Amino acid sequence: MKKSTETRSKILTAVILFSIFFITYSCKKSSDMNPSPGSNTPGGTGGPGTSAVTIQGMAFSPATLTVAVNTTVTWTNKDAITHTVTSDSGMFDSGNIAAGSKFSYTFTTAGTFSYHCKIHPTMVATIVVGSTTPSNMPSTPTSPSTPGY
Ligand SMILES: [Cu+2]
């Protein structure tokens, strides 16, 4: 008697497993047919108006970064220890950036801005912010990118 019960439950399990597999497979198939909205994810690196500094090995990299005015610079702490991004002139101060965390600051004025890490005074670097409009820009200041231009 015990054996037949076992066989029945085995068959039942097999049927359930097959149903789950079939449902999962058909769901997958139908979702594949839909145009996936996530396929156009922007790369995120080197976009206009943004720039990145990596904090790694107790140093800022690059040590000197040149950007245009209104560029947002993002520092990423890839070290296993806390660092800070602190302007020598007090213009900006990240506070503690924990390991793996980020800090962003937008430079709205041209100039040369030295900064350091409060915790490790040997860590120093510079952001050079250029003039607002590059010389090769057309005279129209704000032209939205026209499709097919
Ligand atoms: Cu540091």
Expressed in angstroms and rounded, the spacing between residue 62 Cα and the centre of ligand 1 is 15
Phi, then psi, of 51 in degrees rounded to 5: -150, 155
Please state the length of the chain: 149
In a domain, 12, yes or no: no
Expressed in angstroms and rounded, the spacing between residue 74 Cα and the centre of ligand 1 is 16
Give residue 116's pLDDT: 98
Q: Which of residues 48 and 149 earns the better pLDDT score?
A: 48
Expressed in angstroms and rounded, the spacing between residue 100 Cα and the centre of ligand 1 is 13
The residue segments making up the domain with residue 76 are 30-130
In a domain, 102, yes or no: yes
Give the model confidence (pLDDT) of 89-113 as tens digits.
999 999 999 999 999 999 999 999 9
Average pLDDT over residues 10-35: 50
Burial (CB count <10 Å: 0-12, 13-18, 19+), residue 30: exposed
pLDDT category at 32 given cuts 50, 70, 90 is: very low
Q: For the CA atoms of 48, 49, 55, 56, what is the dihedral angle to 10 degrees?
A: 10
Average pLDDT over residues 57-64: 98
In a domain, 101, yes or no: yes
pLDDT category at 128 given cuts 50, 70, 90 is: very high
In a domain, 8, yes or no: no
Phi, then psi, of 65 in degrees rounded to 5: -120, 125
In a domain, 7, yes or no: no
Mean pLDDT of the chain: 76
Check residue 38 and report its DSSP letter.
G
In a domain, 147, yes or no: no
Expressed in angstroms and rounded, the spacing between residue 124 Cα and the centre of ligand 1 is 9
Give residue 49's pLDDT: 85
Q: What CATH number has the domain bearing residue 60?
A: 2.60.40.420
Is pLDDT of 37 > 70? no
Expressed in angstroms and rounded, the spacing between residue 117 Cα and the centre of ligand 1 is 5
Expressed in angstroms and rounded, the spacing between residue 20 Cα and the centre of ligand 1 is 53
Expressed in angstroms and rounded, the spacing between residue 78 Cα and the centre of ligand 1 is 11
Q: Which residue has the tokens 């129209």?
A: 140
In a domain, 9, yes or no: no
Total number of domains constituting the chain: 1
